Structure 1
Amino acid sequence: MPNGKTIIAGFDIGGAHLKVARVENGRVVAAASVAMPLWQGLDKLDAALRETASLYAGSDLNAFTMTGELADIFPSRDEGVAALLGQISSHFPDGEKLIYAGRSGFVGVNRAAALPGDVASANWHATASLAARLAGNALFVDMGSTTTDIIPVRDGAVASQGYTDAERLSTGELVYTGFTRTFLFGVASSAPVRGQMTPLMNEYFASIADAHRILGVLDEADDKLTSADGREKTVAGSTARLARMVGRDAADLSPREWRDIAAWFSEQQLRMVHDAAFRVAGTLPEDAPIVAAGTGRRQIKRLAARMGRRFFDLADIIPAGDAVRGEASNAGPATAIALLAGAVS
């Protein structure tokens, strides 16, 4: 590695999770995502950093990106960026630190403080940049717990139309739906119950994680926050929560009927992503594959089949040990930050 930086830790400070990846001699050797409900206070970041301390122990360089500035404990994004930079400086007073400022590249903490618009929510740009280097031309799609990024990459570079959240929402490059945390009424306003379209109760009784759990496609390790009612994360518990959304109890319908309703919600989510991906992919060659990252890679594989494009999992093309590939993809921005920082340090 350049300048002897053999151990690099990448951090993605989100609003709901902290993701950390450890790179040694250019390969990802460990990665993790831990629950961090930042809206409850900055002490949640303190706890998450303590929990992941083994991943960055002895690092030569620590590199950071963030979306946590969106948490509503901060009056504005700029103030959120400033607060998180302060936390980084406090937790890592010594050693080399780099902040990812997206279109402005890696910068020091002081320079980052003067570029809040570039630093804020730039994690998507990091992962897309890594995908661009590895795939050349592709539609990069990262579905996490809360959001889905849909980014065209051409000739080894990010080719997005938008940069800020506001811009990317309008271009279809950011879709506010994810594999676990999304409210069910965020993907549909009604659901078919015994042949009748039933309006949903506009209440947070259940999440999309419940639908995916009922369908048997959810890795429980990916659902790190509490359920809507704070009760058990089981098929029975998820069915009870789903039933409330349509004004019923779990005993009212058969398990097969509840699976059909769960499949409806998963399909509605996929259609949202498909609509946006169809728009974004129009700028790419027909043979450009879809490269997927995040906990929702199963949905993205379905998307690729629907769009008639080849599918590649970022986990399969990053330099990493086989045992850590899946978690490294789940923690995509942290993985990307660590690998990209190694290339410039």
Structure 2
Amino acid sequence: MSSRETPQLQLGWDIGGAHVKACLLQDGSVRDIAQWPCPLWQGMQHLDTALALARSRWADAWDQGVAHAATMTGELADLFAGRQEGVVRIAGQLAQSLGPSLVLFDAGFAWHAPDEAGPHWRGIASANWCATARVLASRVGDALLVDIGSTTTDLVPLRGGRVAAEGKSDADRLATGELVYQGVVRTPLCALGPRVRWHERMLNVMNELFATTADVYRLTGELAADHDQAATADGRGKDEEATRQRLARMLGCDAADGSPCDWLALARWWKDAQLREIQWNLARVGERAGLPADAPVVGAGSGTFLAAQLAARTGRPFLRYADVVLPVPAADASLASWADVCAPAVSVALLASGRG
């Protein structure tokens, strides 16, 4: 193959505290997208494992030579003494594994080499939402990005083709409502509210990691099994019986204390509590950005299904990230679904390849 015919390969990475996401572009088109569990708080060896799985999946990409671009949120893991240490250590480990082509995305719309991570750590830290928003902004004009992942929700206003977020750091974004620390897999159910309705009365819930939102959306049938990669709260199975038992513990009960319909009703109650919280923050963000009432919601993340429901609740049109951004064939529903889940990885790949 001549140099002119050699495929142009670009890998985009999103290094989170619980998952590693990656997107492989070939000649500017999406070839593959994947996600691997990476419980980074348990040690950097989990990042090595995820990177090794990626290399095994795309061995020919490494053989041919591939450019790498990364964003991250994993620096928040309590494995690190602070966020700067986290950014530097993750950057160093990525550089060692991925090679000299690696660049790191900065929310100030810049790129840095791994050895520049120390002085530029504030711009690199938790910038994945900004990569997704920047890619969408030029394509949709006015919109609200609603990226509901396994752990967090990003609510980003897009105004006139630009990213109109007020906050840049996690702390500022928590203050503005642009970051809601809830997701559809790993969020402890006690975070959704102090009380629930059970058998026509209100009960205080147990403030323990007995169950997570994945248990809710497993029972409602809305969480795709492929996206449900985190361990359960009790280390037991993900079947309906084990899931009901985890919900029951939140109330000081056992699964036998209710029928399957009872536990499904409880799951729906928790789902509604989560929707209310995200919707309240979405209204704050949209109002401050001055977005018109018909500006669409663009949904992304493993909770794209919730983003669609939020759009319906607020009377806004709904678009999927994959449909807006990628030339993915309609027949390839799986690839489109993974594009939604791994939107920051797709976005950083597109930006690095000049197609953002």
Q: Same fold (TM over 0.5)?
A: yes
Deviates more, 1:164-173 or 1:217-226: 217-226
**Paired letter, 1:303:** L
Deviates more, 1:81-90 or 1:166-175: 81-90
Give yes or no for the alignment of 1:260 onto 2:265: yes
Mapped to 1, the partners of 2:195 and 2:29 lie a distance apart of 46
**Paired letter, 1:340:** L
Pairwise mapping of residues 7-156 of structure 1 onto structure 2 (< 5 A)?
Answer: 7-53=9-55, 54-55=57-58, 57=62, 58-94=64-100, 96-156=101-161
Mapped to 2, the partners of 1:269 and 1:320 lie a distance apart of 32
How far the C-alpha of 1:277 sits from its partner, in A, is: 0.2
Mapped to 2, the partners of 1:197 and 1:178 lie a distance apart of 24
Give yes or no for the alignment of 1:158 onto 2:160: no
Mapped to 2, the partners of 1:106 and 1:65 lie a distance apart of 10
How far the C-alpha of 1:5 sits from its partner, in A, is: 7.8
How far the C-alpha of 1:166 sits from its partner, in A, is: 0.2
User: CA separation of 1:98/1:5 partners in 2, compared to 1, >3 Å: closer, same or farther?
Assistant: farther
- 1:9 and 1:59 in contact (8 A); partners too: no
- 2:145 and 2:299 in contact (8 A); partners too: yes
Mapped to 2, the partners of 1:318 and 1:166 lie a distance apart of 29
Which blocks of at least 5 consecutive residues in structure 2 are unaligned?
A: 1-5
Mapped to 1, the partners of 2:308 and 2:328 lie a distance apart of 22
- 2:146 and 2:155 in contact (8 A); partners too: yes
Mapped to 2, the partners of 1:305 and 1:108 lie a distance apart of 42
Which residue of 1 is the match for residue 194 of structure 2? 189
**Paired letter, 2:188:** F
Deviations along 1:136-181, whole A, 9 cap, x unmatched? 2110110000000000011221110000000000000000000110
Which residue of 2 is the match for residue 304 of structure 1? 311
Which residue of 1 is the match for residue 292 of structure 2? 285
Deviations along 1:251-270, whole A, 9 cap, x unmatched? 11111111110000011011
Determine helix, strand or coil for the equivalent of 2:316. Answer: coil
Q: Alpha carbon RMSD of aligned pairs, Å? A: 1.5
- 1:30 and 1:328 in contact (8 A); partners too: no
Mapped to 1, the partners of 2:48 and 2:114 lie a distance apart of 18
Match of 1:321 among 320, 325, 328: 328
Mapped to 2, the partners of 1:5 and 1:337 lie a distance apart of 19
Structure having greater relative contact order (Cα 8 Å, sep ≥ 6)? 1
Mapped to 2, the partners of 1:52 and 1:88 lie a distance apart of 12
How far the C-alpha of 1:325 sits from its partner, in A, is: 1.2
Mapped to 2, the partners of 1:188 and 1:214 lie a distance apart of 19
Match of 1:276 among 251, 262, 281: 281
User: CA separation of 1:24/1:203 partners in 2, compared to 1, >3 Å: closer, same or farther?
Assistant: same
**Paired letter, 1:333:** P
Which residue of 2 is the match for residue 234 of structure 1? 239
**Paired letter, 2:17:** G
Deviations along 1:50-73, whole A, 9 cap, x unmatched? 111134533431000000100111
User: CA separation of 1:316/1:59 partners in 2, compared to 1, >3 Å: closer, same or farther?
Assistant: farther
User: CA separation of 1:59/1:113 partners in 2, compared to 1, >3 Å: closer, same or farther?
Assistant: farther
TM-score (norm 1): 0.96
Which residue of 1 is the match for residue 3 of structure 2? none
**Paired letter, 2:144:** L
User: Percent identity over the alignment?
Assistant: 41
Mapped to 2, the partners of 1:111 and 1:217 lie a distance apart of 42
How far the C-alpha of 1:133 sits from its partner, in A, is: 2.0
Mapped to 1, the partners of 2:317 and 2:326 lie a distance apart of 21
TM-score (norm 2): 0.93
Which residue of 1 is the match for residue 351 of structure 2? 340
User: CA separation of 1:104/1:134 partners in 2, compared to 1, >3 Å: closer, same or farther?
Assistant: closer
Deviations along 1:302-336, whole A, 9 cap, x unmatched? 10011110000011122243321111111111000
Deviates more, 1:322-331 or 1:140-149: 322-331
Deviates more, 1:168-177 or 1:110-119: 110-119
Mapped to 1, the partners of 2:118 and 2:65 lie a distance apart of 23
How far the C-alpha of 1:215 sits from its partner, in A, is: 1.1
**Paired letter, 1:63:** A
How far the C-alpha of 1:340 sits from its partner, in A, is: 0.8
